[in-house]
Amino acid sequence: MMSLNCSVYNITCLYLINSLYLHNNCLNYFKFIRNDTDALPMPGGKGLKKEIGLKSLIVIGMSSAVATAIFFSPLEMSAVAGPGSMFSWLLGMFFYITISITFIELSQNYPEAGGPSRYSIYSHGAVTNLINAMADLVWYIFIPPIEAFATLEGLSFIFPSLLSNGVPTIEGAIVGVLIMLAYIPFNYYGVKTFAKVTSVFGTIKYIVYILPAFLLLFVYYNPANLTAYNGILPFGVSGVFAALPYAMFAFGGARVIADLAEEVKNKAYLIYALIITVVTEGIIYLFFNFVFLTNLDWSKVGVTAGNWGELSHVQGNPFIVLASDHDAQIALILLLIAGIVGPFLTGYVYMGAGARVLFASARSGFVGKKMLELHEKYAIPYWALIVFAVVGSAIAFLFAPVPSIYGLISDATVAGYIGFATNPVALMVLRKQGATKYKVPGGSIIAPIAFVATGLVVFWSGWPAVPYSVLIIAAVSGVLGVINKVKEGLAESLWYIGYIAFLTFMTYIGSDGALNLISYDMSTIIVALVSLLVFYPLGIVQGLKQRNFEVHKEAASNLESEEEKQKRSRKDVSLLYMRDAPTTFGKEGRKGYVSPIHSIKISVI
């Protein structure tokens, strides 16, 4: 069986990677546009350093993707879906593969720091991108505090005074802030050091994650839990859907790879890393969910046998609870290490990637220019890192009274997938503009699936998580929009604003909303159909009709191809080229011809 599983895994990864990498003579493409030396130069000629190799990128992706959710999601998912949570993981893996494929195409054409928070500015303009970027920032700003709380859960087994009835005490809240601040040094000393340290700790992390899971199965194994209590789907298909947001929260960590695109030695690595990360994390999450279900001894966790819903009342790290209840000392020690160190590793990776999103927002002109400043020696956006850490620390302290970690997970998931929703639409709009050199095979089929998936994840996150997240996004976007006078592309943003309003409304009237007017299954069908037939095509139609060459706040900080660099060095003339050379609109663009700024028509959003 293990051999068969390995074969399926290898075939899946190789098929996806080869089909994406070799499509459209991709090898020639990589030679043609933006070699590894290309970067987005900052004022003064300095830019982010390309120092992340393939192995490090995969470990970084896995370190962010397989994190707190590996311990907490199986319990909460089983509470709403029972053994059906296994199907939630499978559906989640399929959904996120489609989303990650949109990341692949967009990141190959726009290999920027915080890229997923920038793609929509090229397809729909500043207003759409402002909302998109703020949703991404809410996602990122919530994750490090979540990981800090997860570390507290592990520490509380040794220091009980950190928690009281599952809630951080004042002492616990202070420790949470200190954990947040401790993330800074791991990101401060350059991306090369960050990659090396994460590669070492990430490898160790997986050993202390996976080994105790196997040990738990040897200590206690009860496969009857999979079928004995109202079958494998005790809550029906609705339960599978209700559990899915917790799975999608887990899979969402893979986007860190796309956010580090500008610092990768070869952007082709993004293809390998994204596919390998998503498929591998899916298999690991399935395994941990299986371990939880079959290792569950109802009496020892104080829950009536077969009462899946009561599992949500279990406090603390559920795997540590299981190991303690079964007196599995070696597994307990390893899980305590994993429960403390693992979330810490994920927390600092997310903080680093979140700083890149803040950096990207500064490029778009939504936050202060200070966020663009790079460290003289380490070439990292150090102001963005510091601001991100301070805001995250404040959230960690203020949200300490939240009764459980799951509330923050729901809010973060909603914000993250509202942000992800722009990418499939941006992919299609940029293709229509003629701006896309690298195209994934079947992208026109994958994009609508990915778009519907993001909408369903938001809807399934339920009430009140959706309105809470939407209010936060709206408030931040509104304030920054007024301060920075963001109004370009307002007409092109109406589909996105309408879509967020639609999802919020459906959550409000759905079976788990305030009104409970429509059944859960019918609400799901309505969300899927309206997403696919109304908002997806509307988003494409409302996209910018030609290439968006907006200069933003850093006109001189544009990406150049090798062809441009040679031309500029020969002429000794200060020519300013617009974003994403060598592609332009029209036949000349498809041939790789690049026009200087004075000879092209500029579309300003």
pLDDT tens profile 432-487: 888 888 899 999 999 999 999 999 999 988 888 898 899 999 999 999 999 988 88
Q: What is the pLDDT of residue 154?
A: 81
Residue 19 lies in a domain: yes
Q: pLDDT: is 35 or 255 the higher one?
A: 255
Confidence of residue 134 (pLDDT cuts 50, 70, 90): very high
Q: What is the pLDDT of residue 309?
A: 87
Q: What is the pLDDT of residue 559?
A: 44
Q: What is the Cα–Cα distance from 345 to 338, expressed in whole angstroms?
A: 10
Residue 549 lies in a domain: no
Residue 125 lies in a domain: yes
Angle of helix 236-251 versus helix 85-109 axis, rounded to 10: 40
Answer whether 198's CB lies under 8 Å from 345's CB. Answer: yes
Q: CA distances (Å), 587 to each of 331, 433, 579, 593, in order? A: 63, 12, 18, 9
Q: What is the pLDDT of residue 36?
A: 33
* Percent with pLDDT over 90 in the chain: 38
Which tens digits make up the pLDDT trace of 214-228? 888 888 888 999 998
Q: What is the pLDDT of residue 62?
A: 87
Mean pLDDT of the chain: 80
Beta-bridged to residue 52, according to DSSP, are 264
Q: What is the pLDDT of residue 604?
A: 32
Which parts of 145-194 are beta strand (E)?
A: 163-164, 167-168
Does 556 score more than 70 pLDDT?
no
Q: What is the Cα–Cα distance from 202 to 240, expressed in whole angstroms?
A: 31
Q: Which residue has the tokens 């060598």?
A: 582
Q: pLDDT: is 460 or 496 the higher one?
A: 496
Answer whether 250's CB lies under 8 Å from 281's CB. Answer: yes
Q: What is the pLDDT of residue 261?
A: 92
Q: CA distances (Å), 302 to each of 14, 158, 307, 312, 315, in order? A: 45, 22, 11, 12, 11
Residue 566 lies in a domain: no
Residue 572 lies in a domain: no
Does 358 score more than 60 pLDDT?
yes
Residue 583 lies in a domain: no
Q: Please give the average per-residue pLDDT across 173-180, as a whole number.
A: 90
Q: What is the pLDDT of residue 538?
A: 96
Least confident window among 348-352, 511-515, 568-572: 568-572
Give 31's Cβ-side CA count (13 Å radius).
Answer: 3
Confidence of residue 515 (pLDDT cuts 50, 70, 90): confident
Residue 327 lies in a domain: yes
Specify the 3-state DSSP secondary structure of 52.
Answer: strand
**How many domains are contained in the chain?**
1
* Percent with pLDDT over 70 in the chain: 81
Residue 551 lies in a domain: no
Does 602 score more than 70 pLDDT?
no
Q: Identify the CA nearest to 476 among candidates 370, 383, 357, 604.
A: 357
Q: What is the Cα–Cα distance from 322 to 427, expressed in whole angstroms?
A: 45
Cis amide leading into 83 (omega within 30):
no
Confidence of residue 65 (pLDDT cuts 50, 70, 90): confident
Q: What is the Cα–Cα distance from 408 to 416, expressed in whole angstroms?
A: 12
Residues 6+ apart with CB under 8 A from 582: 32, 33, 561, 563, 564, 589, 592, 593, 594
Q: What is the pLDDT of residue 208?
A: 85
Task: Write out the residue range of the structural domain in which residue 231 sits.
Answer: 2-541
Q: What is the CATH number of the domain that holds 91?
A: 1.20.1740.10
Q: What is the Cα–Cα distance from 164 to 170, expressed in whole angstroms?
A: 10
Q: What is the pLDDT of residue 34?
A: 34
Specify whether the backbone of 24 is left (phi greater than 0), alpha (psi in -120 to 50) or beta.
left
Q: What is the pLDDT of residue 14?
A: 52
Answer whether 371's CB lies under 8 Å from 203's CB. Answer: no
Cis amide leading into 582 (omega within 30):
yes
